[in-house]
Structure 1
Amino acid sequence: MHEQLINPTIQKFKAEFNAEPEHIFLSPGRINIIGEHVDYSDGFVLPAAIDKYICFAVRKLSQTNLCTIVAKDLEEEYTFDVTGEVKPVKQMWMNYILGVFSQLQKPESFFCGMEIVFSSTIPMGAGLSSSAALECGFAYILNELFDLRISKKDIAVIGQNAEHSFAGVQCGIMDQFASVFGKENKVIMLDCNSLEHLYFDADLQGYSLLLFDSCVKHSHLTSGYNERRKDVEQGKKALWKNFPEIEKFRDFTVPMLDTTKEEMGSISYKRCLYLLKEIQRVELAAKALSEGNIQYLGALLTETHAGLSTEFEVSCNELDFLVEKTVQQKGVLGARIMGGGFGGCSINLIQEDRAEEVIRTISEKYLKEFNIQMKVYHVKISDGIKEYTNEYIV
């Protein structure tokens, strides 16, 4: 099933290093059913790993301290000394890797050289967390090759810290957690405060989750993301100043928020209002899944989009258009922007036997409105990071 990704990665490894790789690892991207931007606010999220992967072909080299990493799709490579100090570099893709390595490198470390080629079927910039797959995939590789005995939870945290320290994005834990802890046909309800989690069957009863890629990524993604975090933190300070007895952000109520609106300002109020409502929607969505109420799940998705567009203000004209037109189609239960915002994908809950009709209609409308050819990703919910051990044909 994975040969179309694995075999070219192996061939590239052979061409670069004139040797066979010793290990093949698959690190998945993720979707988030619902719970956007709440993973840094003590909230719940409902992500799942998907069958889009970064494939790593790896060989350990005990006779050298040099680690050479080849990004096949970018046609770039980078070499660093595993015994030297690592710092951020201009190649952003490499910062995700170096950010992981910097946390595991200690004076007593016994790392040696490595040769790694990686390639991906996770669309870049589509909000499917290719960065988390890269970070956590590399942490997983180091854990396996050097017997570091790091827990799965720690691998997720290491990935998140790499994003903070070397990539400059103050992301929550959800993306990394989903990439590590994913299970086939299961969604994860994750408590982003304690990292406790539950699995729910992803039985969509004749409906599919389709991703419509707007093929736009507005340049203020990183700055906008960090600005939203500042807005939220300002609101939290006002809430805790007035209600110090509350332990977790998610335990604040909308009436409490209303009493502090003037103090925190209208922008922070809107951001916090969205978050409190979204945290509640995640719990309702998990309940809807467990009860087989797929219609209600769809309605919650569309509610989330309205909040992301008007309260959290991370949507854009292209995504608003896609969602608005999609939910008007027969067989569509709900749709919303997915990911950090300012572009990327919408996630859509669509009746399977109407999917092609909806895709055709929305593609035509989107092309006419923006002169952009929308991309469509069919995704299946899959396992988290793993070493690929089946025999493969090259």
Structure 2
Amino acid sequence: MTDIRSLLDRDPAVLVLEDGARYEGFAYGARGTTLGEVVFSTGMTGYQETLTDPSYAGQIVLQTAPHIGNTGVNGEDPESRRIWVAGYIVRDPSRVVSNWRADESLDAALERDGIVGISGIDTRAITRRIRSEGSMRGGVFSGADAAKTPEEQLAIVREAPEMTGQNLSAEVSVSETEVTAARGDERLGRVAVIDLGIKQATIENLANRGFDVHVMPYTTTIDDIRAIDPVAFFYSNGPGDPAASSAHVELLRGALRDGLPFFGICFGNQLFGRALGLDTYKLPFGHRGINQPVRDKLTGRVEITAQNHGFAVQAPLDEVFESSEGFGRVEVSHIGLNDDVVEGLRALDIPAFSVQYHPEAAGGPHDSNYLFDRFADMVREHVASKKDAK
């Protein structure tokens, strides 16, 4: 399958960073203007999963791998209902799609979902700039918009909102509850999942562990949760600043006080930290990719993980501490080996834990998939202890 247009249509495009840096290339995907926080992802594969991850809403994603689009896109691998990135930056887009599962080219999929991208630029130079200067706002201008003056383009970029302070849950969440039935012989009960940007792989993993998965909107209240009588509570990954999601912090505190076992992933880890009384902060350039080493303090094992986050939890790494919100003792359970970032939290006096990375990682790696089993075991033990107490 060859995308003939990619061979013939070389419309100009330019990437403009808020510090004034400019990179001229060629249009890729839809034409027009897009704005967002420019971040880089180090995955060598899994670009379709990256693009359809709702956690990337509001971000212009740069792929550090030089060749993108080789296997096209298909209808089976998306992590959600659409492509969510604000924009896309690649060096060398494949001119030929070569995979028996492909339904269309990546370029065509980007255009279909209105994603403005740019190709043919030095992605290594941009990555090095972000690593040294930190993530920053940027804009991709293509088609007629590429002809705007550099001064006009830079002014547009600098007027765009920064990621700090943004609550993007409303953009990515379902509008009403969606239910996926448990699979297998064992049914553990309902799990209330707050959709802050959930991926389909998370739903599949929970259903495969025996949960009836109720994916609920970001507007869900504690009364809505109680109404379905769940055996557990779950916060998904998602975009935005956890400090701007105080309503979800309070909702989680209510669920924890109700005694619901809790598991949080990525954004859910940050909200769990804030619910426990910890602070969060913005990382210089974040962790994004499928090759991030993390040590599980419980087992001593080092896992290679998939990550996508620009914020992190501030907590003491090597000591047990008390939750200032009354949830008992807490410890950091996982540590990122590149920069000692908190990669997981575990409560010791209530059934609750979280991780900053993605154990569902449909595009791989799968080192951390066991965490869904750990969650299911925790729920079983909690249900059994309640029965024994009666």
> TM-score by structure 2 length?
0.29
Higher strand proportion: 2
Higher helix proportion: 1
**More relative contact order, 1 or 2 (CA 8 Å, 6+ apart):** 1
